[in-house]
Chain A
Amino acid sequence: MVVYELADEAVDHLFHALADATRRDILRRCLRDEPSVSRLTKAYPMSFAAVQKHVAALERAGLVTKERRGREQLVHTDLDAVRRARQALDRLETAWRGRVERMSDLLAQDTDTEESSTRGQPR
């Protein structure tokens, strides 16, 4: 478990950030486009400060990046963060493949022992 601790945390952050409909919508809008926070505000019936709070939550989770251009802050979805959910599963797969391999090795040792004791074959 220790080896994929960080990936699990990333998944938790992802869950939390995605728990809100507005934040999910912001993520989708910022996937291909790079709108500014003020342009995003026009899309929602809420204040600039409220939208900025959602963007900040997404930024804390590492799901979006903000880039200052002139007087504006452009928001862009970080695909790598979205990919972390995949990575968490990839690591789980790696951990279990390793375990299955070690199980096989243990079972193979039974056979080796049997063979060498019953047939006396040197290995």
Chain B
Amino acid sequence: MSVTSVDKDFDHLNLTLVADFGAPLERVWQLWADPRQLERWWGPPSHPATVEQHDLTPGGDVTYFMTDPEGEQYRGWWRVTSVNPPRSLEFTDGFADQDGTPLADMPITTTRIELSEHDGGTRMRLRSVFDSREQMDQLMSMGAAEGLQQAVGQMDALLAD
């Protein structure tokens, strides 16, 4: 098993995953940094990914499409927000239309990965946050972010009964 731990924070809609690999850090970094490697693991086997642009520099873009069993293509993008090869990478990712233009009304996730040497192999720590941008902006401007956290927290407490 590569996945060492998974922690889900329901109030803040994020996920932290720790995985350990028996391979050198540089090799694990290549899984992200080499587009041919990336497309072998990013999409599920039913939706293999084809990476087109792949620019892992701050502000750089990664664009790809996934092909479903019927041959239909779904386009996606990353925008790199910070990168420190071969140790860390942070990017937002979302969907795009057939021309590759990001879809503003679709949800966005922000993911940060950190690689470190661990037990003769490599530990990958990954944190992924749901960013329902439009609604979150709206919430912030209404000063309701705190109220939302409270409400979801309270509901969780009620559900736990």
Interface positions of A (Cβ within 8 A of B): 1-3, 5, 8-9, 11-12, 15-16, 18-21, 24, 27-28, 31, 79, 82-83, 85-86, 88-90, 92-93, 95-107, 110
Q: Is B100 an interface residue (CB 8 A)?
A: no
Query: Which residue of the partner chain, among A1, A19, A102, contacts B144 with CB atoms under 8 Å?
Result: A19
Query: Restricting to B38-79, which residues have a CB under 8 Å from any CB of A?
Result: 40-42, 44, 47, 66, 68, 74, 76
A92:B128 contact, CB within 8 angstroms: yes
Q: Is the interface of A mostly helix, strand, loop or mixed?
A: helix
Q: How many A-B residue pairs have CB under 8 A?
A: 124
CB distance from B134 to the nearest CB of A (A): 8
Docked complex Cα distance between A27 and B136 (Å): 20
Query: Which residue of the partner chain, among A15, A28, A90, A97, contacts B154 with CB atoms under 8 Å?
Result: A28
A18:B107 contact, CB within 8 angstroms: no
CB distance from B12 to the nearest CB of A (A): 10
- Chain A residues with CB under 8 A of B8: 86, 89-90, 93
- Chain B residues with CB under 8 A of A102: 40-41
Contacts A15-B135, A31-B158, A88-B130 given; indicate if A103 touches B2 (C-beta within 8 A).
yes
Q: A12-B134, A19-B138, A21-B144 are in contact. List 12 more A-B contacts (CB 8 A).
A: A18-B148, A18-B152, A19-B144, A85-B10, A89-B13, A96-B17, A97-B6, A99-B42, A100-B2, A105-B41, A107-B27, A107-B31
